[in-house]
Each structure stands twice: as structure tokens, then as C-alpha cells.
Structure 1
Amino acid sequence: MMMKLKNQVALITGGSKGIGKGIAIQFAKEGANIIFTHLPNEENVDSVLQQIQSFGVECLAVPTDISKEEDINRLAKLTEDRFGKINILVNNAGTIGEEKPLVEMSTEEWDHLMNVDLRGVFLMCKNFIPIIDSESVGKIINISSELSIKGRANYTHYTAAKGAVNSLTRSLALELAPNILVNTLAPGPVGTDMILSDMEPEWIEKEKDIPLQRLGKVEEIAATALLLASNEGDFFCGQFISPNGGAVFI
């Protein structure tokens, strides 16, 4: 069977765990060489690196704070020195912040989340668009959330940032088409290792209260990312794709 991303280069931010890890592994299975970012001092980076390399592809893991321009500049140089160009950029890294009413939220909390979830996407796009190979169709996939359109009380900072990412996607898609296609991937509730291990059972059960009555699987989100990244996604431009199990209706 022909690999869908053979010899392509994909950069995934926040690729050492959760959805980012799932996307990195799925892309590697399909033949892509991988660069992924992670926070400094993460313990599982080596095991993820080895897992990706087991598919016979190259992999570069780079500790990066995507809210810091100097980190992004360094990442871009390392990427260009190693691979020259990239084909796919997945802006996955983010934070959800602490649940609290807006009037109790500090300016520092608001700014921190915006710096990671929105400024980070801006910095990644600004620095990597020039090295995306647009001779064959390049791809940018911005990870958002179904909460960006339905909202959630006590998460105004998170939903505002992800809503802005949706708008950034649409405008950037108009700027870059047809050579680079930009789309939003907005998962609903997903059973990542972190959620399943860190969250209270009552919280998990509440998240399952959607039409499909379960959490999504990381592999299901990664499969959607693969659709957008591969040639099969070449007619998607500026779209909001949301595998959410019907959560958007609740």
C-alpha cells in the first residue's frame, strides 16, 4: 500500500503527548519525517522519538516554548538546517488554563493563555510559512476546539483564543491559497492519557454526555489530521473540521 506522506516533512508542535503525539505517530506511519516540539524536561520525549523512528523515518525533537519568539527562531533554523523545507505544519501546542469566572481571572493568566494558544500560532506561521514547500501543495493545520464555537462558562480565555485561531485560519487561507492550504482541526472531548489519568471520574463522565456517549480517541483525531495533510485533503481550504461526537450540539 502506498504511503500517503512518503518523504514529506511534518512539524508538529506539542508532539510528545496527547493529540500531538498521535498525529506525529500517524504521519510517521505514512512515511513523513517528523519534527516535534516539547516543553523542556519532559520525561517521555526519548520514548516518543524512538517510537517515531521505528517507522524508518527521521525525527527531530526540539524543546520549545512557542510563546517565545527566540525559541521559534531557533526552531526554524534547526529545521531548515536539517531538512531544508517542510511540507506540513501542525500548530497543536497549547494550554487550557484554569477554570474560573472571568472576573476572578488575573491579567497574567489571560495573557499566558493568549501567548501560548494564539501568539504561538502566529509566531509559528510567521516563521515557517517561508520554508513550507509550496511547489507541491503545502499544508497548515491549526488545532482548535469545538468549544471555540459553542463556548463554555469559566473558560473565556481558552474559548476566546481558540475562536481567534479559527479566524486566523480563514484569513491566512485566503492569503496563501492555492500553494499552501490552511485549515482548522477542532476536536471535541478526547480521551488523552493526561485526561484519563489526571481528571476525576465524575468530570470524565460529564464529558461523555454527548450524542455518541463516549470520549473521542486520539487515533480518530490523528486520522482527520492525516486527511487534511495528504493529497486527499487538497480541496479543503479555510475549513473548520470538528470531529466531536456531536458535542457541538450540547
Structure 2
Amino acid sequence: MPDNVLSPPPDLPFAGRVVLVTGGSRGLGRAMVAGFARAGADVVIASRDGDACARYAAEISAATGVAALPYGVHVGHWDELEGLADAAYDRFGRVDVLINNAGMSPLYDDVAEVGEELFDKVIAVNLKGVFRLTALVGSRMAADGGGSVINISSRAADRPRPGLLPYAAAKAGLNALTVGFAHTFGPAVRVNAIMAGTFFTDVSRSWDRTAFDERAQRFALRRGGEPEEIVGAALYLAGDSASYTTGAVLTVDGGQP
């Protein structure tokens, strides 16, 4: 068993560690930022809305006492990601956990209506940006002797529905990147993915809730998930208990068929 398994205080298992979360100001990312901060980690909160990141960073610091760095960035823009990585390392000197959570999944009525611009945006945010940021941060983690990367994938990757094909393709590619980066940066850096099912976030406010509740009766848990319910999986994959887990894709979906 690695020596560091026993080193963190049991009440704050991520004390002294730095966690960078993209899409960290809302939805699943917001919940994961809170979960890691409560576990003692300093956090980097990144999203397109820099003001929202700043507000949430102040809230998290006040509530938990950890340091929180807000950073406005569009993860689909290749040239912006080096600045994000540099800002994290300039402030904290390290990144122990990278969570690639930012994503977008625009719906459409007819696949023939999907334009090149929409397709490229979906691929850029969900796949291209993850590749670039993981390459930048993962390389530094490996040079520093360790780290953990968690990619937030989707059940659409293996259950592609007609209205989500570019998104599903991007998330399937993300699963492939997870395995590939695990081998690229191993043995020092572990790279895993959470294949998330349906969670109630700000995006879900526009859903036909009655129709969803009917569909959810086919789930093993008969419901959608709350954002906080993804946090345990993230803490596990990022932590020392998962020291022999890499290249894995963990499904967290309430038992969707």
C-alpha cells in the first residue's frame, strides 16, 4: 500500500491538495467544487462566466476556509487553456486533481439541420478542450510525480440518442481519451472518467418534467440524480482509495437501461 494512503487527516482527506474544475460555477461542477472544498482542497473554479466563478470562489472560501481561484475561460478555445494552467500553477504551485467537467449538449429537431458551426462547438468544448487541458496539466503532474484526472463523460457515449449525436460522439471520444491518457501519463498520473446519467441541473429546468418522470420509471432508482450525488464518485476517483484505478469509466446513472 502506498505510504500516502495514510497521510491525510481523516476529516479533511484533501487538505493541502489543489483541485481544478472546469465548468465549476454551476451544475455538476459546482457540486464537485463544494465537495472537494469541504474535504479540505484548495480549488480553481473555471468557466466561461468569469463573474460567476468569482462570486462562487468568494462563497466557497467564506464557507470552508480554503483558497479558491476563479478563472474565466472558454474551454473550447485551444489558445486560452495554457493561460488557465499557468494561472493555477502560478497561484498554487501545483494541481493535484483536474476535473474536465465543462460541456455542452444542444438539442436539434432534425439531424440534417445540424450545421458545421454547432458540430464544431460541441466537439471543441466536450473533446478538443479536454485533450488540450489534460495534455498541459497532465504533463506537469507527471513531472511532479503524481496526480489524478477525472473526465465527466455521459451515458450518451454508449446510448446515443437521435437528438444528441455530436455530443454522443464527443463523449465516446472522451472515453477513449481517458484510457489513452491513463497510459500516456502512467504510472504517476491516474486518469479516469465518470459516465454520468441524467442529473437535475440548471439545464433540466427547460425539460418536460412529466415526460422525464415517466421515462425515469425505467431506471433502477426510478428518478434522476441531484448534482451532489456525483461528488462521492469524484472524491473516490481522485483520492488515495483509488490508487490502483486508472483508465476506468465509472457509470453513475441511477441504473438507466
Give the TM bin, normalised by the shorter chain: over 0.9
Q: Find out whether 1:147 has 2:156 as its counterpart.
A: yes
- Paired residue secondary structure (2:105): coil
Q: Deviations over 1:71-96 (max 9, x none)?
A: 11211221121111110000000101
Q: Find out whether 1:157 has 2:166 as its counterpart.
A: yes
Q: Could you tell me the TM-score, scaled by structure 2's length? A: 0.90
Contact 1:85 1:133 in 2 (8 A): no
- Report 1:217-232 matches (<5 A): 217-232=226-241
Q: CA deviation at 1:135?
A: 5.1
Structure 2, unmatched stretches of 5+, are: 1-9
C-alpha distance in 2 between matches for 1:207 and 1:25: 30
Q: 2:27 aligns with which of 4, 9, 18?
A: 18
Q: Could you tell me the TM-score, scaled by structure 1's length? A: 0.92
Q: Find out whether 1:38 has 2:47 as its counterpart.
A: yes
What RMSD in Å do the two structures reach over aligned CA positions?
1.7
Q: CA deviation at 1:99?
A: 2.9
Contact 1:84 1:131 in 2 (8 A): no
Q: 1:230 to 1:134 in 2, by over 3 A?
A: farther
Q: Find out whether 1:2 has 2:2 as its counterpart.
A: no
C-alpha distance in 2 between matches for 1:134 and 1:55: 30
Q: Deviations over 1:9-38 (max 9, x none)?
A: 010000000000001110000111000111
Contact 1:173 1:182 in 2 (8 A): yes
Structure 1, unmatched stretches of 5+, are: none
Q: Deviations over 1:127-154 (max 9, x none)?
A: 2123226655410000100121121112
Structure 1 runs (4+) greater than 4 angstroms displaced: 133-136
Contact 1:13 1:90 in 2 (8 A): yes
Q: CA deviation at 1:41?
A: 5.8
Q: Find out whether 1:236 has 2:245 as its counterpart.
A: yes
Q: 1:134 to 1:41 in 2, by over 3 A?
A: closer
Q: Deviations over 1:217-244 (max 9, x none)?
A: 2111011100001111112110010111
Q: 1:121 to 1:145 in 2, by over 3 A?
A: same
Instruction: State, as a whole percentage, how many aligned pairs show the same letter.
Output: 28
Q: CA deviation at 1:101?
A: 3.3
Q: 1:207 to 1:71 in 2, by over 3 A?
A: farther
Q: How many residue pairs align between the two structures?
A: 246
Q: CA deviation at 1:45?
A: 3.3
Tell me the equivalent position of 1:99: 108
Tell me the equivalent position of 1:68: 77
